[in-house]
Structure formats: structure tokens, C-alpha cells
Structure 1
Amino acid sequence: MNSLTQAQLKDLDKIVEIDKSVIGHNGRKDMLKKSIESESCLISMQENEIAGFLTYNTNFFGYSFIELVIVSPQERRKGHATALLQHFVKIASTEKIFSSTNQSNTRMQEVFERNGFTRSGIIENLDEGDPELIYFKLK
């Protein structure tokens, strides 16, 4: 079973490594560091190793917004994303929780829907030809 905890700066390199394995570069290192420093990064642990992480803020019209849910490719389909989402819903500081994913990311859409999130809108022109789908959940 996995455990969830707040990320610490000592976790940054592993978090960046997981992020890089998914997106192909480490361009979000500074953003991830800021999330950890502001205590807005959760990690899912499997056998004392970081398996995935979730970052969040409350900058989406004053509501909680899940920025990233990233799980290491070898740890996918083991419940890490679900555990991170469910934990965040419990600790979120606002009643309304939002997130988003690309239209092409059908796996994440399934994760959101299995966890009670509903589609709430669409944003065009962020990624060329791949609209961003907004998801919503009431706490």
C-alpha cells in the first residue's frame, strides 16, 4: 500500500526525475521547487520510493486547482493518482476543486471521472490542436 505525505526539498531531485520521465525534459524544476517550498506538493510513496506527486494552488479564481498529477511510468495503474486526488480533496482549503488535462490525455480524463470530477469547460489555444479540458469537483 502506498503512503501520502507532503513533499520536502530533499525530494526535489526524485520529483524532477519522475516529471522528466513523463514530459521528456526538466523544464518545470523551478516550479516544482516553489510548490515544495510553499507546501503545495504531495507525494505518493511506494516501498520508500516516490511513485508520484500532485501539485496545487488556490489561484484559479480563488479556488483550489490541481496543477499536476504525475505518476512514474512504472508505477501507473497502481492507485497512486487516485490516492493523491482523494487525499487532496480531503485537505483542500476550498469547497470547489478544479483541475485540467489535455483532450488527448484520455487516461487522466478517466482518472478524474472515476474520482467524481465532472467536465466543466474547455480552453483552446494552450497546446496547438489539443484543447485543455477543465474538471470540477465539489468537496
Structure 2
Amino acid sequence: MHPMDVENPSGLRVDRVDPSDWTEVATIDSVAAAGDRARRDSIRRWCESGAVLVARDSSGPVGYSVLEYNFFEQGFLTMLMVAPGARHRGVGARLLAAVEAGCTTAKLFTSTNVSNHPMQQLLRRADWRPVGLLHGLDEGDPELFYLCPRASR
């Protein structure tokens, strides 16, 4: 465990996950924890590919993110999940900042459903810019696409 310091008073740290820890990551994913086998398979695949960052505090893992490069060969934040009991404590913002810092392409995108207001608020607070809307992925719940502000610099 890293000692707490002034820059990180919560003791939260973000590290690349070990591929063998995929089951631990799955326990904090509300969809996987509810028994969604496809999500568990995705988490295992993401962890094995090295695409997962996990946020941990003194209690263990509290969130994770997935950064892939399969969206027009640009960075794409595929998943950002914070454990229900750890929400509204800055975990999502720390994961988002870690993904931004680790992205190796000029542009970084993400998307979220219109119904996912917490993610939209997180992206707005981090100055991500809405860049498009796609209908047809989830019936009745369009997907909003965002561009990381670093691409605008």
C-alpha cells in the first residue's frame, strides 16, 4: 500500500491490472456481479490484453477503466466503472485522468448512453466535448460520443 500524501489524501491509487486479477475486477462491475456472463468474458479479455486500469483504496478495488485503440485507430475509453459503494468520491475522475495521461494517440474518444447522467456529468466536469449521437445500439437510448479536451489543444 502506498502511504497517503497531500496530493492523494484518499489513498486512492490507479495501476494497470494483472491479467490474473480479472475476477476481482468483475466483482466491482455491477453488470458482471449481477451474473452477466458476456460482461465477465469482456472483463477477462480486457484484462488479458492489458487494457485495464484499476483504482484501489485501502479496502481494495473500487473502480476500473478500459482503454482500447480500435476506434478508427484512436484511443477509446471503452468502459469506466466505479463500484456502487465508492461513487461520488473522485474515483471516476482519477480513472478518467489516468486514461487521458496513458493514451498514446492524438485523439481520445468515449461514449455513453443518453440515460447515463452520472457519466455525462463526469465528462462535462473534465471538459470533454460532445461530438456526436448514434441511434440504434440500445433501443430507445442513443449513444453520445465525446472527445477528450487534449485533442483540441
TM range (shorter): over 0.9
Equivalent residue number for residue 110 of structure 2: 99
**Quick one: structure 1 residues 23 and 95, their matched pair in 2 at CA, closer, same or farther if it must change by over 3 Å?**
farther
Contact 1:95/1:138, CA 8 A, preserved across alignment: no
Q: Which has the higher contact order (CA 8 A, sep 6+)?
A: 1
Contact 1:22/1:72, CA 8 A, preserved across alignment: no
Runs (4+) of structure 1 exceeding 4 A deviation are: none
1:88 counterpart SS class: helix
Q: Which structure dedicates a bigger proportion of its chain to strand?
A: 1
| Percent identity between the two aligned chains | 29
In structure 2, which of residues 39, 53, 73 is the aligned counterpart of residue 42 of structure 1? 53
Residues 1-139 of structure 1: pairs in structure 2 closer than 5 A = 1=10, 2-20=12-30, 24-26=34-36, 27-139=38-150
1:58 counterpart SS class: strand
Contact 2:32/2:40, CA 8 A, preserved across alignment: no
2:148 counterpart SS class: strand
Q: Unmatched 5+ residue regions in structure 2?
A: 1-9
CA distance in 1, matches of 2:104, 2:33: 29
Contact 1:22/1:73, CA 8 A, preserved across alignment: no
Contact 1:100/1:135, CA 8 A, preserved across alignment: yes
| Cα shift at 1:108 | 0.5
- The TM-score normalised by the length of structure 2 is 0.85
CA distance in 1, matches of 2:32, 2:21: 17
- The TM-score normalised by the length of structure 1 is 0.93
Q: Which amino acid is 2:23 matched to?
A: D
Contact 1:21/1:73, CA 8 A, preserved across alignment: no
CA distance in 1, matches of 2:28, 2:114: 22
| Cα shift at 1:20 | 3.3
Aligned-CA RMSD value: 1.5
Give the length in aligned residue pairs: 139
